[in-house]
Amino acid sequence: MNSNFLFPSKFKYLAIILFLIPVFCHLFDIVLLNNDLVEKTLFEFLVSVAFFLIVFSRYKDDDEMLYSIRLKTTVYSLLIGVFLLIARPLLNFILWNQVEMYESAGSIISTVLFFNVLFFLRERNKLKESLEDEELH
């Protein structure tokens, strides 16, 4: 199967570093920029890029089953993204009578990528558990 569109597996380490920068800054109250809004935007950007790199990087043991899992998780996360796009303004209106039609594209893509990572890790853990179960029996 052609997987030329995926980054090498080493990009995952870069993604982890990018993800940890905002986490550490938030936990230890480290101020990188004086402007709060710019800093918040920068942190959101770093987290989105980190998720993007995790989703689109190869695993060392990538094979056709992982490609099929990747495809399945992409579909699930896209469904959640579309659901949020439709449901959130509706819930805002019903619960708080606020008319806020659409979220920004950035937050929707971040949500899609986040759920993609979540689903993929869940599927991989299931496979590992299945292997461990067999080793025990």
Partner 1 sequence: MKNYIKIERARYNLTQGDLAEKVGVSRQTINSIETKKYIPSTVLALKIAKVFNMTLDALFELEDDD
DSSP of 78-109: HHHHHHHHHHHHHHHHHHH--------HHHHH
Question: Out of 4, 5, 37, 61, which residue is the one contacting partner 1 (CB under 8 A)?
Answer: 61
Question: Out of 9, 68, 98, 125, which residue is the one contacting partner 1 (CB under 8 A)?
Answer: 68
66 vs 88: CA distance, rounded Å = 32
Which 108-137 residues touch partner 1, going by CB under 8 A?
127-128, 130-131, 134
Q: Which is nearer to partner 1, 60 or 105 (CB)?
A: 60
Q: Report in angstroms how near the CB of residue 73 gets to partner 1 at its nearest.
A: 15
Residue 119 CB partners (closer than 8 Å, separation 6+)? 72, 73, 76, 77
Q: Report in angstroms how near the CB of residue 137 gets to partner 1 at its nearest.
A: 11
User: How many residues are present in the chain?
Assistant: 137
Neighbouring CB atoms inside 10 A of 44's CB total 15
Question: Out of 64, 95, 97, 137, which residue is the one contacting partner 1 (CB under 8 A)?
Answer: 64
Site for partner 1, rule CB under 8 A: 1, 61, 63-66, 68, 127-128, 130-131, 134
